[in-house]
Amino acid sequence: MELLLRTNFDIPKPPGGVFDPLRYLSLGAGQQDQMKEEGKSTSATAVYEVARPILQSCHAIPTKLKILLDRALSALAQEEVLMIVSGCGWQLDDYQRGYKLKDASGSPLDRWNMCTKMEEPIILQQFLMF
């Protein structure tokens, strides 16, 4: 997990210290300010990049992330929303509910995977680009 976080965000591990993802939440703020200055609107590609770690390989969506993702998706056309949701392996009705009833093989789920508490603040930070 630590290696994945450092690789995706190009964050060096502090020398002699423990990697703390919360410490690095302000990284990338300059990039986000630059995007706002350029006046870029919400694009399907940007929403997909934020939605992917929330939805792929997960069966449930944390409430905070669901609210923010709903707001980001509301700025897109219905076709784009369907492409994003289905591209992450979800049905639209499952996404609207916030969790999957069945797995990919059609068997009912009795346990649900979702992003971890350590991943959630990092994903929340990505919503600042909207």
Q: Alpha-carbon Rg of the chain, whole angstroms?
A: 16
Q: 43-89: per-residue pLDDT in tens?
A: 888 899 899 989 988 899 999 899 999 999 999 999 999 999 999 99
Judge whether 72 and 42 are in contact, CB under 8 Å: yes
Angle between helices 78-87 and 44-55 (to 10 degrees): 30
Q: What is the DSSP letter of 39?
A: T
pLDDT digits (tens, 9 = 90+) for 104-123: 888 898 888 888 888 888 88
Total-model pTM:
0.63
Kindly state the tokens that stand for 45: 């590609």
7-17 residue pLDDT tens: 444 445 455 55
